[in-house]
Amino acid sequence: LPRVSLSYQASACSLSTLHFLKFPENRFEVLKLLENSIEVLKIIENSVELLKILENKLESMMILENKLESLKLQENQPVDRLVPLSIKKFTSESVFERLLNSKDNKI
């Protein structure tokens, strides 16, 4: 058997597979394929932009969640030797309720 160079073998192999591919037969088909490709690229570009927007919203939500957690922690912490907010709220509600009850009893 004669020896054939590798480059010739590779090109012969690629040529043998080309007949399986369907190529457009005229310029109109080529233009239509290009137009469709451009539309697909626009859709992909819009999807990427949408993903960026969603990513920014997610980051904003995470920041808000962290702020909320921080506020929850601060609510139960004494500030400058003051009573924590949760205790103040409970106490003020209790005092108000007792005042109402005492007024009802006096009337």
The predicted pLDDT at position 82 comes to 61
- Tell me the average pLDDT of the chain: 73
- Total structural domains within the chain: 2
Tens digits of residue pLDDT in 71-101: 888 776 666 666 555 555 555 566 667 667 7
Q: Is residue 2 part of a domain?
A: no
pLDDT grade for 16, boundaries at 50, 70 and 90: low
Reduced 3-state DSSP string for the chain: CCCCCHHHHHHHHHHHHHCCCCCCCCHHHHHHHHHHHHHHHHHHHHHHHHHHHHHHHHHHHHHHHHHHHHHHHHHCCCCCCCCCHHHHHHHHHHHHHHHHHHHHHHC
Residues 66 and 84 in one domain: no
Domain hosting 66: range is 26-75
- The answer to whether residue 45 is domain-embedded is yes
pLDDT of 100: 72
In a domain, 53, yes or no: yes
- Residue range 13-21: mean pLDDT, rounded: 54
Asked if 68 and 99 sit in the same domain, the reply is no
Report the share of the chain in percent with pLDDT over 90. Answer: 30
Q: What is the pLDDT of residue 79?
A: 60
- Pair 31, 66 in one domain: yes
**Residue 5 counted as domain residue:** no
What is the pLDDT at residue 45?
95
The verdict on 86 and 62 lying in the same domain is no
> Are residues 107 and 84 part of one domain?
yes
